[in-house]
C-alpha cells in the first residue's frame, strides 16, 4: 500500500492539471485572498475552503504551498454566511439602519499555516506582523470559524477579546471559560449522541460492534461515553481502532485497520471522525472491506463529497446521525440563483465555477468567464460536487450570524436608552463589548429553533437519522428514515421507518451482528472464558427451572406448586391430586375392599347359620365370630386411605388399621392357644382343664388390643398424623397425602403387630400335627405365613414408592393380608359346610374316628 502512495498523488496531480490547464493559470492563482463585503459592522469568517499541500523541504526558510483541491462542502459555509447577512440586511426589525458586512478568508489545515490569514486580517498586511495593523479602523465585531482550528485561532483572538463563534460539533475542551472566555460554540451538545446510537443498536438487536474513532480528544471522550452506554445495555465491542488525523500516521496504520475490519465478525461498525481523518480512504482495499458492513456515523464524516464511485458504492446504506433543525426557507432558492455574475466579488465562487464547469477566464481582472455551459448552476452539479441541502455547519453559521446581529441589536438599544441619538454618526464599539450580550443570548431563529449560546444552558441535540444511498452514475442521496429525541419518553425516543432503509450492497434483509446467536427460551447463557459477555454458549435449564425470555443469564426455579414445561420455557400450576374414589386405581381398591367385606359378612352369616354343627363348634365359634367381624373392619379400614385427605381421616387411618389388625391377629393367637390347650386337657393326667374352661385364651384379645391402643394414644399425643403435600413424586401434580407425623410411632405400631403375627405363626406351627378331626392349626399356620409374607414385602416396596402409589401399596397390603386370613382360615370350613355337609355330621365324624382307630390297630399288629 505504501508503494501505491506516490502513484495516487501522481493521479491527483494529473487530475488537477486537467482542471487547471483549460484556463489561464495566472488568473487562477492571482485572485484575491479574501471575499470582502463592506458594512457598518462586519463579521470575519475563516473557513477551510481550499486544500493546500504545505512542504518545507523545498525551502527551509519559506513554505512551499501547492493548491490541492476545492472543498465544495465548506464553500457552502461561505454561501450560508452571505445568505444570512443578506436576510438580516433585508429585515427592518433587526438592526434597522445598520448594514452587516463580512470579511471571508480561507484557512489552511496545516499547523504551520493555520494562523497566516488570521494574522493578515488583524494586521491588514500581506506579510503578517503581530501587534501591528495598517487598517485605519476595523469594523469587525466577531469571528466565525470551524472547530478544528478554534484552539489555534481562539488562542490568538483571546489576546484581543474578540468574540469567536465556532460552527463545528460541540467540543467539551472549548467550553473551558477560563481558557476560552471569548469563544462560543453554536452546535448543541452531543451528550445524547451515544444514547441515540445505542438505541439504534438495541432496535436492530446489534450486540456485536466495532469502533473506529478519531484520535482526538473529542473522539476519545465520545468513545468513553459510548462504551459506558454499550456496557449498560449489554452490547459488546469486538475491536477499537483509533484513526489518525494526519496523512502520514494514517498511511502507516491503514493496513492494520483494513485487516482488523476484514477479520472481525462484527457486521456493524460505529465511525466517529471528521472527513479529513481518513486521508487515503479511497485506496482500492476499501472496496472489498466495506460492501458487506453496516456503518453508523455522524454528519461530520461527509463521505458524500468523495468523488470515487467505488468508495460511494461501498458506503451505500450507511446510517448517519445528523443534528435535527428546521428548514431555512429561501436557502435552496438562494443556492439555485448563485453564480459569478450575481456575486462578482466572490472569487471563491469564480474559482469553483472554473473547476467544475470547465470555463475559461479572460480580462486583466480575471473576472470574465467564457465558454461556460448554458445551464451552469449549483443545482445541476451532482451531490458529491455540491450538496443543495443545508449542512449542519451551514446551519450553525446561519445561527452564528443571527447571534451576532441580535447581540449588536440589544447593545444598540441599550445605548439608545442611556444616551441621546447622534443622527448620522457611524456605529462604533469594541468587539469585547458584545460578550455580556452573547453570554446571555437566547433567541428563536427564522426556522423556529431555539438558539442558546450559554454552554451551561445549552440544550442537548436532537438527531435525524439519514440513510445514505448511492445510485448509478454518481447520484447520491440522503433519506431521512428516523429521529432520536432525548426529551421524549423512553419508548418514544427513537422513531424509525425500517421499510425506508436501504442496507449495504448485497444485503436484502435487516443485517445481523451478534457474537453468539441468542439463547431461545428454555436455555440460559453460559459465558465463555476470556470472551466478552456477548459471546456465550446456550445451556438447557436444569430440572424444574425455566427461562421465558431470550438470552437469560439465569434460569428461574418454578415454585413448589408449579412445574416446568417440557420445553422449560414456562411454569404451569400443578394439579392437586390424591388417590380418589374416581381414580381407576382407587376405584379398583374400593371395589376389592367392598367385595371382600361382603364376602366376609357372608362367611359370618354361614357360620352363624351353622353354629351348632361340629365344625363350627369345634373351632370355638365365639373366636371365629370375633375374627370375622375384625376382618370386615380390616377390609373397610382401607377405605380411609382413599379419597380427599382431611385431619380426621389422617388420624383414623393408622390407628384404625393398627387396632383392628391387632384384634384380628390376637384372635388368631387365641384360637391357636385354644387348640393347644384343648389337646393338653384331653391328654391323661393333665390338669389344665380349668385354664380352658376359665376362658384364659379369650383374655389375650383385650390385653393385646389395649397395648396397641396405648401405643396409638402415645402416637396421637406426641406427633399425630396430618395432611401433607407431595409436590415432587409425580411430574405436574401436587399429591395430597397423610403424613404419619412420627415415623417411629408408625413402626412401633407396625412392629407390635408384626410380633403378634410372628408369635401366632410360631404357636400355630408347633400345633400343626396335633391329632384332631377339626384341628385348624395348619390353616392358622398358613394364614400367618401369608400375613407375614405380605407385610415383610410391604416394607421395601412402601419405601421405594411415592405419592399415590405409596398409599395404594399400603391399601393393597391391608387387603392382601386380610384376604389371606379369610381364605386360609375360613374358605376350607365354608367348603365343608356348603359342599360336603356329610363331613359336618356326627355320624360322619364317628365313622372317621372308627376308621382312624382301625388303621392304628392294623399298624400295631
Can you list the domains of the chain with their CATH numbers?
1-30+345-376 (no CATH), 31-189+328-344+387-452 (3.40.50.2300), 193-325+462-500 (3.40.50.2300), 523-573 (no CATH), 584-860 (1.20.1070.10)
Lowest mean pLDDT among 70-74, 103-107, 250-254, 795-799: 250-254
Separation CA 525–CA 186 (nearest Å): 47
The band of 199, judged by pLDDT with boundaries at 50, 70 and 90, is: very high
Say whether pLDDT at 278 is over 70: no
More confident residue, 222 or 301: 222
More confident residue, 683 or 585: 585
φ/ψ of 757, rounded to 5, equals: -65, -40
* pLDDT for res 43: 93
Mean pLDDT, residues 338-367 taken together: 82
Of the candidates 104, 141, 144, 138, the residue with the CA atom closest to the CA atom of residue 124: 138
Q: How far is CA 572 from the centre of its chain?
A: 24
* pLDDT for res 765: 81
Cβ atoms of 708 and 784 closer than 8 Å: no
pLDDT tens digits, residue range 317-329? 889 999 998 899 9
C-alpha cell at 617: 363348634
* pLDDT for res 211: 92
Q: What is the CA radius of gyration of the chain?
A: 54
Cβ atoms of 571 and 562 closer than 8 Å: yes
369 CB-side CA count, 13 A: 23
* pLDDT for res 281: 45
Q: What percent of the chain has pLDDT over 90?
A: 25
pLDDT tens digits, residue range 114-139? 666 676 776 665 555 555 555 545 67
More confident residue, 384 or 198: 198
Say whether pLDDT at 464 is over 90: yes
Neighbour-count burial for 783-820, b at 16+ CB within 10 Å, e otherwise: bbbbbbebbeebeeebeeeebbbbbbbbbbbbbbbbbb
More confident residue, 633 or 509: 633
The band of 699, judged by pLDDT with boundaries at 50, 70 and 90, is: confident
Cβ atoms of 403 and 183 closer than 8 Å: no
More confident residue, 745 or 153: 745
Across 456-465, 682-691, 703-712, which has the greatest mean pLDDT? 703-712
Say whether pLDDT at 105 is over 50: yes
* pLDDT for res 507: 75
Separation CA 629–CA 600 (nearest Å): 8
The band of 477, judged by pLDDT with boundaries at 50, 70 and 90, is: confident
The band of 689, judged by pLDDT with boundaries at 50, 70 and 90, is: low
Amino acid at each position: 500500500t505504501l508503494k501505491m502512495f506516490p502513484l495516487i498523488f501522481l493521479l491527483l496531480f494529473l487530475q488537477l492539471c486537467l482542471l487547471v490547464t483549460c484556463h489561464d493559470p495566472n488568473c487562477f492563482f492571482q485572485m484575491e485572498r479574501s471575499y470582502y463585503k463592506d458594512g457598518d459592522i462586519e463579521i470575519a469568517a475563516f473557513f477551510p475552503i481550499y486544500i493546500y499541500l504545505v512542504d518545507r523541504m523545498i525551502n527551509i526558510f519559506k513554505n512551499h504551498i501547492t493548491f490541492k483541491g476545492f472543498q465544495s462542502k465548506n464553500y457552502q459555509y461561505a454561501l450560508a454566511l452571505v445568505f444570512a447577512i443578506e436576510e438580516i440586511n433585508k429585515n427592518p426589525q433587526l438592526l434597522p439602519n445598520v448594514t452587516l458586512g463580512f470579511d471571508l478568508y480561507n484557512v489552511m489545515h496545516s499547523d504551520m499555516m493555520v494562523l497566516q490569514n488570521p494574522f493578515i486580517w488583524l494586521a491588514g498586511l500581506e506579510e503578517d506582523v503581530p501587534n501591528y495593523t495598517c487598517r485605519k479602523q476595523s469594523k469587525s465585531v466577531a469571528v466565525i470559524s470551524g472547530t478544528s482550528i478554534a484552539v489555534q485561532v481562539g488562542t490568538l483572538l483571546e489576546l484581543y477579546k474578540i468574540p469567536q463563534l465556532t460552527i463545528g460539533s460541540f467540543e467539551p475542551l472549548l467550553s473551558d471559560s477560563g481558557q476560552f472566555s471569548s469563544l462560543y460554540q453554536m452546535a448543541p451538545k452531543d451528550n445524547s449522541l451515544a444514547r441515540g446510537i445505542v438505541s439504534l443498536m438495541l432496535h436492530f438487536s446489534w450486540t456485536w460492534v466495532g469502533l473506529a474513532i478519531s484520535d482526538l480528544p473529542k473522539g476519545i471522550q465520545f468513545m468513553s461515553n459510548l462504551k459506558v452506554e454499550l456496557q449498560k445495555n449489554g452490547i459488546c465491542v469486538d475491536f477499537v481502532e483509533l484513526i489518525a488525523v494526519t496523512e502520514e500516521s494514517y498511511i502507516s496504520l491503514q493496513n492494520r485497520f483494513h485487516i482488523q475490519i476484514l477479520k472481525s465478525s462484527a457486521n456493524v461498525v460505529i465511525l466517529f471522525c471528521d472527513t479529513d481523518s481518513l486521508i487515503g480512504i479511497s485506496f482500492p482495499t476499501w472496496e472489498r472491506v466495506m460492501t458487506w458492513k453496516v456503518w453508523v456515523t455522524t454528519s461530520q464524516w461527509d463521505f458524500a463529497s468523495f468523488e470515487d464511485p467505488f468508495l460511494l458504492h461501498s458506503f451505500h446504506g450507511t446510517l448517519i446521525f445528523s443534528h435535527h433543525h428546521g428548514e431555512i426557507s429561501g436557502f435552496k432558492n438562494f443556492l439555485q440563483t448563485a453564480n459569478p455574475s450575481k456575486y462578482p466579488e466572490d472569487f471563491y465562487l469564480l474559482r469553483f465555477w472554473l473547476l467544475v464547469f470547465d470555463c475559461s477566464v479572460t480580462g486583466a481582472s480575471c473576472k470574465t468567464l467564457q465558454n461556460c455551459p448554458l445551464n451552469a448552476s449549483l443545482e445541476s452539479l451532482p451531490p458529491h460536487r455540491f450538496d443543495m441541502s443545508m449542512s449542519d455547519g451551514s446551519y450553525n453559521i446561519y445561527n452564528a450570524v443571527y447571534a451576532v446581529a441580535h447581540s449588536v441589536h440589544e447593545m444598540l438599544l441599550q445605548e439608545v436608552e442611556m444616551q441621546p441619538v447622534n443622527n448620522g454618526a457611524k456605529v462604533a464599539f469594541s468587539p469585547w463589548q458584545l460578550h455580556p450580550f452573547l453570554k446571555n443570548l437566547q433567541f428563536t431563529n427564522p426556522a423556529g429553533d431555539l438558539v442558546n449560546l450559554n454552554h451551561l444552558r445549552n440544550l442537548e441535540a436532537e438527531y435525524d437519522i439519514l440513510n445514505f444511498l448511492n445510485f448509478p452514475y454518481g447520484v447520491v442521496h440522503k433519506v431521512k428514515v428516523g429521529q432520536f429525541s432525548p426529551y421524549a419518553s423512553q419508548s418514544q425516543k427513537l422513531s424509525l421507518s425500517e421499510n425506508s432503509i436501504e442496507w449495504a450492497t448485497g444485503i436484502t434483509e435487516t443485517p445481523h451482528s451478534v457474537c453468539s446467536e441468542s439463547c431461545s427460551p428454555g436455555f440460559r447463557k453460559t459465558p465463555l472464558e476470556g470472551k466478552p459477555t456477548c459471546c456465550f454458549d446456550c445451556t438447557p435449564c436444569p430440572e424444574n427451572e425455566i427461562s421465558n425470555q431470550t438470552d437469560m443469564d439465569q434460569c428461574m426455579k418454578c415454585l413448589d406448586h408449579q412445574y416446568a414445561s417440557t420445553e422449560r420455557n414456562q411454569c404451569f400450576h400443578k394439579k392437586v391430586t390424591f388417590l380418589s374414589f374416581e381414580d381407576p386405581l382407587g376405584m379398583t381398591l374400593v371395589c376389592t375392599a367392598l367385595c371382600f367385606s361382603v364376602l366376609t359378612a357372608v362367611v359370618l352369616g354361614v357360620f352363624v347359620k351353622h353354629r351348632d354343627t361340629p365344625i363350627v363348634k369345634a373351632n370355638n365359634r365365639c373366636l371365629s365370630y370375633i375374627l370375622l367381624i375384625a376382618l370386615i373392619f380390616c377390609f373397610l379400614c382401607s377405605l380411609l386411605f382413599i379419597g380427599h385427605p382431611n385431619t380426621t381421616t389422617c388420624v383414623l387411618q393408622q390407628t384404625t388399621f393398627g387396632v383392628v389388625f391387632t384384634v384380628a391377629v390376637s384372635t388368631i393367637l387365641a384360637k391357636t392357644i385354644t387348640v393347644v390347650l384343648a389337646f393338653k386337657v384331653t391328654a391323661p393326667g393333665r390338669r389344665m382343664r380349668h385354664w380352658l374352661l376359665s376362658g384364659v385364651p379369650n383374655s389375650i384379645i383385650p390385653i393385646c388390643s389395649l397395648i396397641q391402643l396405648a401405643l396409638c394414644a402415645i402416637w396421637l399425643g406426641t406427633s399425630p398424623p396430618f395432611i401433607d403435600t407431595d409436590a415432587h413424586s409425580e411430574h405436574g401434580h401436587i399429591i395430597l397425602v397423610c403424613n404419619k407425623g412420627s415415623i417411629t410411632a408408625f413402626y412401633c405400631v407396625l412392629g407390635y403387630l408384626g410380633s403378634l403375627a410372628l408369635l401366632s405363626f410360631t404357636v400355630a406351627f408347633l400345633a400343626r400335627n396335633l391329632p384332631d378331626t377339626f384341628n385348624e392349626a395348619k390353616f392358622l399356620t398358613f394364614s400367618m405365613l401369608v400375613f407375614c409374607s405380605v407385610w415383610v414385602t410391604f416394607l421395601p416396596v412402601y419405601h421405594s414408592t411415592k405419592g399415590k402409589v405409596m398409599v395404594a401399596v399400603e391399601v393393597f397390603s391391608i387387603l392382601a393380608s386380610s384376604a389371606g386370613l379369610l381364605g386360609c382360615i375360613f374358605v376350607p370350613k365354608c367348603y365343608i359346610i356348603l359342599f360336603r355337609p356329610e363331613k359336618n355330621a356326627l355320624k360322619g365324624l364317628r365313622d372317621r374316628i372308627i376308621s382312624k382307630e382301625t388303621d392304628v390297630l392294623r399298624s400295631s399288629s
